[in-house]
Chains A and B, each alone.
Chain A
Amino acid sequence: MPATAPGGVGQLRGEEPFPAAARRALADAQLRRNLGHATATIRAKSGAVIAEVPDWEQLRAAGSAIKADVLARLPELLEQLEARVTAAGGVVHWAADANEANRIVTDLVRATGSDRVIKVKSMATQEIGLNEALEAAGIIPVETDLAELIVQLGDDRPSHILVPAIHRNRAEIREIFLRAMPGVDRALTDEPADLAAAARRFLRQTFLSTSVAVSGANFAVAETGTLAVVESEGNGRMCLTLPETLITVMGVEKVVPTWRDLEVFLQLLPRASTGERMNPYTSMWTGVTPGDGPQAFHLVLLDNGRSAVLADGVGRQALHCIRCSACLNVCPVYERTGGHAYGSVYPGPIGAVLSPQLTGVADNASLPYASSLCGACYDACPVKINIPELLVHLRDQVPHPRGESVAMAAAAYTMDHPALFAAAQRAARLSRLAGRRGRGLPPPLSGWTAGRDLPEPPVETFREWWAKR
């Protein structure tokens, strides 16, 4: 029995199935406008900086191969990482699931005597519901990323991996600050610079007076024991530099074999993610450095369902993910339904394949259907995760009507044959031009659309757009 992530803790399961949540999101015009703007903007920026790199495809191939190598040797790499981190003065902890990780972190914080921690934005700690666990133990977690702070003060949930508060506009953010930010100036305007300055003032004192920080990690190098965190605002540097104790929670799949492997991912991640040549700040550290930064370092290695994902020969490629969010920004379903509809901290295409695998498909049965199978996510993914293949693979594990299985098999076949796939996309678009929207895809894919609304096909497919560039 594969050990999936336990229920009742963390944020991998939604309160309602995707179709119901999506319907509400679709009706929210503000959300659709914000998301449409954000995804289009990031998509364009990212496309431009990727076009500058003549060896992008070689980098993608290398990134994908490194991740495949990592998964093939995960136990030995983790043991190596543990040995190196320990040798450099860190302490390594192993957490089988969210409950254990929360317990480990809570105990570590308690041992410092602090009743407050500052946090760097981290998907892993959201996944396990660390903030809720800390609060239950009487410890105040303070999110220091501006967007996460907006989400936290708004008593809200993140809607995008990269820009978690993208569903909020400046007027709403101002209201949230006035309502929930202690000591805020009542004359605060809704200018972004003014709002950011208010957050800076509010957080400065917290940074300087909190002795424990919790972070995630983008990469951990087995060969050297080096951890890396990639960010923009400097809140990450604050948390990684100022406190006496640093606790890093990291999914086991984040390990990379060698120092040199970072040369691949540090090129892929910023360009695919924020559309920058490099993010403003990257911090790397190995254990503790006497006289510089935290003098106590704890690394918590988290399973929480990852071993179950690894056990699936097809599904395991979801563990390649470097959380760049490129697949979200090209996904027509995500663009219209927003992040919350996915129920999990992992929204969009990667969430549709990762969440059901971490929890077991029965607990997230509708997510593999949260996709048009258009293939844009696969094209955009810097580590070449074949998300459409995975979606089809997972749909096979969800109980569903027989007509759908036939349609899915046809879809899988079509996905594997680019010419057919392109033809199907064109057919879908033509059907829209011909005013047949809503009637579904041509056979044999009609078995699929018979059971659900056909998302409006894009005017231009991602592949066509890409080819023109």
Chain B
Amino acid sequence: MVGEAVSSRDLILGRLRAAIADGTDPVRVPRDYRREGTADLDLLVERLTDYRARVHRVPETAVADTVAGILPASATVVVPPGLSAAWLPPTVTALRDDGLDNARIAAADGVVTAAAVAVVETGTVVLDGSPDQGRRVLSLLPDLHICVVRAAQVVAGVPAALGRLSPHRPLTWISGPSATSDIELNRVEGVHGPRTLHVVLLS
């Protein structure tokens, strides 16, 4: 092409326009699939457990005790800047994220975060980077993740979850711990992400 008379952008768009120039009928998308449903907490527990997440159903006042029961005394946990201090037991050392470097995050025994949404049907928790959830790296490098979910954050299915989330925030959808089935289809947990996921469900 002499002197780049046509940019690749124009070239590709031109090709695509030509490809559909014969006219395509406008398409109506049928939306008669389920978009609502009940946020059944029992089913959420079942689905989370099925994904090998460990689930604790406790009142909000018991979060710190629950965390203390999960982590050994003197464990170090990373916490996002906006996490409720009342959720942390005095037995652990909390490293509040003020721009911690990756090596310190990776060396922690665990991380405690809140969540934005939890999806019953799929057994999923979603983090959206709010101050009580923090940067994406916090829930990625430590080997153990404790995620606290309020009952009001629980929705029935994926459509309801997307309806509550903002596309303009970085989103991490988590269904169970990291897993692979690449070796003879045997499920192995904890290839790269956290090996252990605890969900503390407040109700």
Contacts and interface: CB of A to CB of B under 8 A. Distances in A.
Interface of A: 2-3, 34, 37-38, 41-42, 54-55, 58-59, 61-62, 65-66, 68-69, 71-72, 74-75, 78-79, 88, 94-96, 100, 144-147, 150, 163-166, 169-170, 173, 192-193, 195-196, 199-200, 203-204, 207-208, 221, 224-226, 232-235, 237-238, 240-242, 252, 259-260, 262-264, 266-267, 270, 274, 276-286, 289, 291-293, 301, 303, 307-308, 310-311, 313, 316
B140 A61 contact: no
Given A88-B168, A278-B119, A284-B171, A58 B33 contact: yes
B16 A146 contact: no
B167 A280 contact: no
Contacts of B12: 94, 96, 252, 301, 303, 307
Contacts of A308: 15, 19
Nearest to A279: B175
A242 B102 contact: yes
A42 B184 CA distance: 12
Interface in B94-128: 99, 102-103, 106, 119, 121-124
A200 B16 contact: no
Contacts of B170: 283-286, 289, 292-293
A147 B25 contact: no
A445 to B, nearest CB: 33
5 contacts: A173-B183, A192-B186, A225-B167, A263-B158, A293-B136
B1 to A, nearest CB: 10
A270 B158 CA distance: 12
Contact of A278 (B122, B140, B183): B122
A192 B180 CA distance: 10
B2 interface: no
Contacts of B22: 313
Contacts of A38: 185
Interface stretch (B3-11, B55-63, B65-73): B3-11
A55 B121 CA distance: 13
B148 to A, nearest CB: 19
Interface string B1-38: 00000011101110111111010111111111111000
Nearest to A74: B16
B171 to A, nearest CB: 4
A95 B24 CA distance: 25
Contacts of A311: 18-19
B82 to A, nearest CB: 14
B27 A72 contact: yes
Given A94-B9, A208-B103, A221 B191 contact: no
Contacts of A293: 135-137, 170
A200 B193 CA distance: 9
Nearest to B160: A263
A192 B184 contact: yes
Contact of A170 (B11, B122, B157, B183): B183
A72 B28 contact: no
B143 to A, nearest CB: 10
B137 A147 contact: no
A239 to B, nearest CB: 10
Contacts of A195: 183
B6 to A, nearest CB: 10
B169 A196 contact: no
Nearest to A38: B185
Contacts of B162: 259-260, 262-263, 266
Given A208-B102, A263-B159, A289-B129, A146 B13 contact: no
Given A163-B182, A196-B183, A266 B158 contact: yes
Contact of B24 (A71, A233, A260): A71
Interface residues of B, number: 72
Contact of A286 (B106, B167, B173, B194): B167
A279 B33 CA distance: 21
Contacts of A234: 140, 178, 191-194
Nearest to A239: B192
Contact of A233 (B157, B185, B191): B191
Contacts of B171: 282-285
Contacts of A226: 167
Contact of A280 (B99, B106, B175): B175
A409 to B, nearest CB: 24
Nearest to A226: B167
Contacts of A292: 129, 135-137, 170
Contacts of B137: 241-242, 292-293
A293 B190 CA distance: 21
A281 B167 CA distance: 16
B174 interface: yes
Contacts of A204: 106, 192
Contact of B20 (A58, A71, A303): A71
A94 B8 contact: yes
A68 to B, nearest CB: 5
Nearest to A41: B185
Contacts of B18: 307, 311
Q: Which of B136, B186, B191 has the most CB of A within 10 A?
A: B191
Contact of B34 (A55, A225, A310): A55
B16 A252 contact: yes
Contacts of A232: 178-181
Contacts of A264: 33
Interface in B28-57: 28-35, 47, 51
A235 B121 contact: no
A240 B178 CA distance: 15
Contacts of A3: 15
A283 to B, nearest CB: 6
B188 interface: yes
A278 B174 CA distance: 9
A303 B129 CA distance: 34
A440 B49 CA distance: 50
Contacts of A59: 33
